[in-house]
A and B are shown apart, each in its own frame.
Chain A
Amino acid sequence: MAARSRARNEEAALAAANAHLATLRHDVALTRYANAVTTAKREALQASIATTLGRLATTNATLSNTTAHAVLQGANISTLETCLGGVQNALGQIAAGDNDQAAKDISAVSGPCTQLDGGSSAGLVYPFDFPDPAVILVGQTYYAYATNSVAGNIQIIQSTDRTHWTLVGSALPGLPAWARSHYTWAPAVAMIGGNFVLYYAANVADSGKECISVATATRPQGPFVDRSTAPLECQPALGGSIDPASFIDPNGGLYLLWKSGGPGSSKIWSEQLNETGTAFAPGATPTVLLTPGRPWEAGTVEAPDLVAAGGRYLLFFSGNNWEGANYAVGVATCSGPLGTCTDSSTSPILSSGPGVAGPGGESVFADPSGAYWIAFHGWVPGAVGFPNSRDLYVLPLTVSGPTPVVGAAG
């Protein structure tokens, strides 16, 4: 009986243990299910966190870019306001008759205005109307002269580094009696016998024709005085004479080059000057150096500038319509200052590109080391044609190769 009783007790214990095990197994199943649900929930949460962090990173990057853009634009606005303020001040001074103060106001904002017109990457150095520039080096200072505009009959600016230019004012405060104001174009200046001689185109009051005159000064910044009673050169039958350029031949002799006529009839001329450069040499006659012959010139060659370099005479000139983006600079090779000249290039050496449209009115000059540079005017792309400004650009010029190359040092 005792054995059966023990067996019954053991079976009862077994039943209880099995029931407990069943409960435990049920709990395990429940806990596993809870774990699975919680794991899924956590995975979903982590996916949401990853997505949120991704969006946050993207948003922060965009915000950073936008903030940087805003800072840059803020600087642009500041630059614009500075430039505009200077121009407005200059305008006010001009209205009040104080051109000297106007010149200072404009010079003061030259840097900011240069930035607005695209900076100096394309060679822009003076962001105001400065057409048909002519650059000379006197000592360590460069002087640039230009067609009449805001600064007066013949504008003059100066620089010691070719990049930063300061307005000096008007090189030619007065005009001879035969000339009328507002039409004094394309100057050239030469240092001859210790004096400075200015050649420029002026409009004859009686005929309305543009003709070439000459003025002198004892300093490069002037004032130049024109005591003439008549133009130095005028070709009324050819439509007038403009774009004078002086040339001092290293082999001896002083010459004046210029352009006559309009589209379809333009010619570039040369004639020897006397020793003072204020009149033509006795017995000298004008010689045609160049006529239009290339498609890109569209019937016009003008703005001559003769340079003796590397044993050659290089005649730089501008072609096409001065008021359009197709205006450009070409070069011909001459056997001497009076020709003959051969334009062997089929395309210009300088034409519209990033940051400049319709470059022309060039002036080639050397720095103290003997390296060549080319100054020219150009429209800011998108603002082509008068009364928009033809700004001043300066770029290095290489003349050692078969064809001069603009923009390459040396």
Chain B
Amino acid sequence: MGIIVGALLAAALGYLIDDQVQAHDQFDRAQTSLGVTRHQTSTVSAQLATLRRDLGLLTAQVGSDTTALNQDASQLQGALGALAAAQAHVSQQSSQIASLSTCLGGVERALNALSVGKKGRAIAALQSVSAACSSAASSSG
């Protein structure tokens, strides 16, 4: 009987000791894993912070770029408008120059013809440029 009780006690003790050992092992593993996880968490947190800071910067840059693009586009529109106006002015000037040159040529030919007594040719020279002279006069305002 004593032997049986002793064996039972020894078995119970062995079980308790083994359970304790397992619980310690379980604790140790969990603690180790927790350490690893906390380290990873720390690293990922830092990563996330960097990424968020970068995103903030990028977002701010996109904002300023958008503003700059709008300003540039506005300037471009203004320049295109000014260019169109300048080109129209040049075109009008070219037309006026052509009219003036034609008119002057006719007046000069008429003068030359008149000076040698060729009135018919003088009149013809003037008539040939009358439209150009009228156009030049109206352009000159």
Contacts and interface: CB of A to CB of B under 8 A. Distances in A.
Contacts of A76: 93, 97
B131 interface: no
Given A21-B40, A76-B97, A387-B109, A60 B79 contact: yes
A87 B79 contact: no
A383 interface: yes
B18 to A, nearest CB: 12
B96 to A, nearest CB: 6
- Count chain A CB atoms within 10 A of each CB in B37, B65, B108, B125 and give the residue with the most: B108
Interface string B55-99: 100110110011011001101100110110011011001101100
A20 B41 contact: yes
Contacts of A386: 112-113
B134 interface: no
A219 B62 CA distance: 87
Contacts of B7: none
Interface string A356-396: 00000000000000000000000000010011110000000
B87 A52 contact: no
Contacts of A183: 116
Contact of A17 (B34, B72, B90, B112): B34
Given A45-B62, A84-B100, A4 B26 contact: yes
Contact of B76 (A18, A34, A56): A56
Given A63-B86, A67-B86, A148 B116 contact: yes
A285 interface: no
Interface string A14-37: 100110110011011001101100
Interface residues of B, number: 68
A53 B72 contact: yes
B34 A13 contact: yes
A73 interface: yes
Nearest to A90: B111
A77 B100 contact: yes
A66 interface: yes
Contact of A129 (B75, B107, B108): B108
Contacts of B130: none
Given A14-B34, A387-B109, A31 B86 contact: no
A149 B108 CA distance: 11
A49 B30 CA distance: 56
Given A41-B62, A52-B69, A129-B112, A34 B55 contact: yes
Contacts of A383: 105
B27 interface: yes
Contact of B90 (A13, A73, A87): A73
B115 A150 contact: yes
Given A35-B58, A48-B69, A84-B104, 14 more contacts: A10-B30, A17-B34, A21-B37, A21-B44, A27-B48, A38-B55, A41-B62, A59-B80, A70-B89, A87-B104, A148-B116, A150-B115, A182-B117, A389-B109
Interface of B: 19-20, 23-24, 26-27, 30-31, 33-34, 37-38, 40-41, 44-45, 47-48, 51-52, 54-55, 58-59, 61-62, 65-66, 68-69, 72-73, 75-76, 79-80, 82-83, 86-87, 89-90, 93-94, 96-97, 100-101, 103-105, 107-118, 121-122, 125, 136, 140
A-B pairs with lowest CB-CB distance, top 6: A3-B23, A10-B30, A7-B27, A7-B26, A182-B117, A80-B100
21 contacts: A3-B23, A11-B26, A11-B30, A13-B30, A14-B34, A18-B37, A21-B40, A38-B62, A42-B65, A49-B68, A49-B72, A52-B73, A62-B83, A70-B86, A77-B97, A88-B107, A91-B107, A94-B111, A149-B112, A386-B113, A387-B121
Interface of A: 3-4, 6-7, 10-11, 13-14, 17-18, 20-21, 24-25, 27-28, 31-32, 34-35, 38-39, 41-42, 45-46, 48-49, 52-53, 55-56, 59-60, 62-63, 66-67, 69-70, 73-74, 76-77, 80-81, 83-84, 87-88, 90-91, 94, 116, 128-129, 148-151, 181-183, 383, 386-389
